[in-house]
Amino acid sequence: MSGTPIPTVEHPVMPELDEGLTTFLSELAERVRGGSNWMVRKKILLDALVAVEQLALMSEADRVEVLDVLRRRMGEEAEPDEVPVTTADDAAEAAEGGEETAAPPPAMLILLYCGGVLETLGETEVRSAEQAMVYALSIHPAHNQAAVDWSQANPRNAKAMRKLIRHDRRFKHLFDSVSTLVKASEGPESLPG
pLDDT of residue 144: 93
Contact assessment for residue 110 and residue 45, using Cβ atoms and an 8 Å cutoff: no
Backbone angles phi, psi at 153, to 5 degrees: -70, -25
Helix axes of 155-167 and 141-153: crossing angle, nearest 10 degrees = 120
Predicted confidence (pLDDT) at residue 162 exceeds the cutoff of 70: yes
Helices (H), the chain: 19-33, 38-57, 60-74, 88-96, 106-121, 129-136, 141-153, 155-167, 169-184
> Is this model's pTM higher than 0.85 or not?
no
More confident residue, 93 or 132: 132
pLDDT of residue 186: 46
